[in-house]
């Protein structure tokens, strides 16, 4: 998924918690679902960022040398400006874009 094109808020906003328990019927279950989705998003973003930063890495034998690469800095700044994974997962949950199932409930 392209997280750069999400319509999630870039910063924290006040939310009505009564909207969270609508799809699941349970606020705690909804928070658990959003938390697990935020972890998934976070790991995907971390893999993507690591892959892009590897393109610019330089291998040196001296550990004391630190090279500041302008491209690495720009890529890092771009990812810092993205909404946080928790905000993306909340927006996805509210937009019904998250698939979840409860194995404890019977399917009718």
Does pLDDT of 70 surpass 70? yes
Better pLDDT: 79 or 59: 79
pLDDT tens digit sequence for 39-59: 999 999 899 888 887 877 666
For the range 10-14, what are the long-range contacts, defined as Cβ-Cβ under 8 Å and sequence gap of 24 or more?
A: 10/81, 10/82, 10/83, 10/87, 11/87, 12/87
Most confident of 13-17, 63-67, 74-78, 91-95: 91-95
The rounded mean pLDDT for the chain is 79
pTM score above 0.95? no
For the CA atoms of 93, 90, 49, 77, the dihedral, rounded to the nearest 10 degrees, stands at 140
Which distant-in-sequence residues (6+ apart) come within 8 Å of 75 by Cβ? 49, 52, 53, 56
Better pLDDT: 66 or 36: 36
If DSSP codes are grouped into helix, strand and coil, which group holds residue 21? helix
Give me the percent of the chain exceeding a pLDDT of 70.
Answer: 78
């Amino acid at each position: 998924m392209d997280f750069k094109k999400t319509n999630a808020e870039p910063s924290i906003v006040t939310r009505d918690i009564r909207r969270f328990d609508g799809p699941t019927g349970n606020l705690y279950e909804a928070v658990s679902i959003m938390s697990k989705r935020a972890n998934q998003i976070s790991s995907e973003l971390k893999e993507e960022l690591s892959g892009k930063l590897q393109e610019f890495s330089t291998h040196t034998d001296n550990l004391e040398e630190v090279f500041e690469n302008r491209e690495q800095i720009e890529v890092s700044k771009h990812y810092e400006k993205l909404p946080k994974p928790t905000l993306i997962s909340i927006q996805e949950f509210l937009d019904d874009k998250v698939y979840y199932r409860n194995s404890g409930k019977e399917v009718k």
